[in-house]
Amino acid sequence: MGRNSTTITVFILLGFSDIPSLQHLFFSVFLVTYIVTLAGNLLIIVLTLADPALHTPMYFFLRNLSFLEMCYTSVNVPKMLGNLLSGDKAISFTGCAMQTYFSFFLGGSECFLLASMAYDRYVAICKPLHYPVVMNRKVSTGLAAGSWLSGLLMSFGHTSMVFILPFCRSHEINHFFCDIPPLLKLACGDTSRNEMAVFMVAMSFDTFPFMLILMSYVCIISTILRMPSREGRRKSFSTCSSHLVVVTLFYGSACIMYLKPNSSYSPDTDKFLSLSYTVITPMLNPITYSLRNKEVKGAFWRMVQRRSRKML
């Protein structure tokens, strides 16, 4: 990276500078969203740790997801808020590379973590008698650790393939964070091989966990439909509906963003799609799991009651 930094040492994140009249509105909205995201995900972590009833593999994975979302949104949102408030949109070459690395590290980890959660639901619904044995502490910990490690490896490949390029066309990134598509637009020479490499890595690391999720839910839905009791079908579906909503939100926007042809690149569209999975989805995850999950709501009210008794 040092060799390239002699060409460009600082990038400018243009963000939403094309609509200056809305800068303060954007700042207020994104600040509130960021606070709600941190508070909501932190609450999920506290509840799943404090309540013994939630010491199960499902909530162990949910705790990992909440921690990941707090980190994920903190990689990009604070810098975006600073840019909106101060007008200083500069980011160093190294800072840009680190932002890209951690964005893809956490994003890739989430792909595999969502797949692990889908597998957990598959075993719970399709093989309930084997669930305590199959999804023991060792397996759950291994799946979570594997998810984080997979994101680590994917991010290293993505970031390396972009930042080995010389950047000399411009130092202005038409985005609110250092994302790969706008960075490739600034690189000199023929970047087709790098674009293909990035696409292939995204295909392998994103599509594989998605296919695992898809196969898990085919089996889950098939099992639920064969249940004789209507109440049993409703209860089984309610345990995985929150996860299904989260998967749809995350994968829907991410797949459109990174698996589309580079010829269809549109800065404004990409900013909107990026907001959906870097800002909106991390905020909605704890809300989705809280509103649709009786166990989480029960744990919350039990915690409130314990606090109330201590105050009396």
What distance in Å separates the CA atoms of residue 300 and residue 286, rounded to the nearest whole number?
12
**Bridge-based pairing state of the strands 90-92 and 10-13:** antiparallel
Asked, for residue 3, whether it belongs to a domain, the answer is no
Residue 123 in any domain: the answer is: yes
Three-class SS state of 198: helix
Write down the pLDDT at residue 66.
94
**SS3 of the chain: helix, strand, coil, percent, to 5:** 80, 5, 15
**pLDDT digit string, tens, across residues 89-106:** 899 999 999 999 999 899
Q: What percentage of the chain has pLDDT greater than the value 70?
A: 92
Predicted confidence at residue 297, as pLDDT, reads: 75
Q: Is 5 part of a structural domain of the chain?
A: no
- Is residue 2 domain-resident? no
Domain count, the chain: 1
Tokens encoding 299: 């744990």
Residues 106 and 72 sit within 8 Å (Cβ to Cβ)? yes
| CA atoms within a 13 Å half-sphere pointing along the CA-CB vector of 237 | 13
- Report the C-alpha gap between 161 and 43 in whole angstroms: 38
Q: Look up residue 159 and give its two tokens.
A: 């970031």
Please identify every stretch of the chain with a pLDDT value under 70, giving residue numbers as ranges: 1-7, 169, 254-265, 291-292, 312
Q: Identify whether 4 is part of a domain.
A: no
Residue 9 CA, chain-centre distance (Å), reads: 29
Sheet of 90-92, strand order = 90-92, 10-13, 172-173
| 36 located within any domain | yes
Decide if 31 is inside a domain.
Answer: yes
Q: Closest by alpha carbon to 194, among 166, 162, 157, 163?
A: 162
Would you state the pLDDT for residue 1? 43
Q: Which domain holds residue 138?
A: 10-311
Specify the 3-state DSSP secondary structure of 228. coil
Nearest-angstrom CA–CA distance, 167 and 194: 13
Q: Identify each DSSP E strand in the chain by its residue range.
A: 10-13, 90-92, 172-173
Measured at the alpha carbon of residue 171, what is the angle toward residues 167 and 175, in degrees to the nearest 5? 110
Two structure tokens written together for 153 = 């490896």
pTM of the model: 0.87
CATH number of the domain bearing residue 133: 1.20.1070.10
Amino acid occupying residue 212: L
pLDDT at 39: 93
Asked if residue 164 belongs to a domain, the reply is yes
Alpha-carbon dihedral angle through residues 194, 196, 198, 204, given to the nearest 10 degrees: -150
Strand 10-13 vs strand 172-173: parallel, antiparallel, or unpaired? parallel
β-strands 172-173, 90-92 pairing: unpaired
**Residues 4-59: tens digit of each pLDDT:** 444 678 899 988 887 888 888 999 999 999 999 999 999 999 988 988 888 899 99
